[in-house]
């Protein structure tokens, strides 16, 4: 599939093959890294929602897994409204827990796991 495109590259064939191999490896690693990080944030987010007693914790966890693919705070699209809704409904301990759990536990843990 890539052979017609690689034929258009104005480089020597051995460099083109090396470039294609490196590109394939980086793409593979990036896809796996993003997917596993999103899964990890979904699991940690679901755990926090379960501890807080959020009624649809599994649904919120799935939503966090999807939004984790959005760079720079994608999971906040889920946990900020949930935390605020809990606060406004009078469940202030659960709301404060969710609002603290999101930024303090999920991203640092996944960053630590990714580097470790």
Q: What residue spans define the domains of the chain?
A: 36-115
Position 19 scores a pLDDT of 81
Alpha helices in 2-91 (DSSP H): 3-6, 13-52, 57-67, 76-88
Position 103 scores a pLDDT of 83
pLDDT digits (tens, 9 = 90+) for 26-71: 999 989 988 888 898 889 889 999 999 999 999 999 999 999 888 7
Position 11 scores a pLDDT of 74
């Amino acid at each position: 599939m890539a052979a017609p495109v690689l034929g258009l590259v104005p480089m020597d064939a051995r460099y083109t093959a090396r470039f294609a191999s490196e590109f394939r490896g980086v793409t593979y690693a990036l896809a796996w890294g993003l997917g596993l990080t999103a899964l990890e944030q979904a699991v940690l987010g679901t755990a926090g929602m379960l501890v807080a007693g959020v009624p649809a914790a599994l649904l919120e966890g799935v939503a966090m897994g999807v939004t984790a693919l959005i760079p720079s705070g994608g999971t906040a699209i889920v946990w900020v409204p949930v935390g605020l809704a809990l606060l406004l409904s009078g469940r202030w301990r659960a709301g404060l827990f969710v609002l603290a759990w999101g930024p303090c536990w999920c991203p640092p843990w996944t960053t630590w796991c990714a580097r470790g």
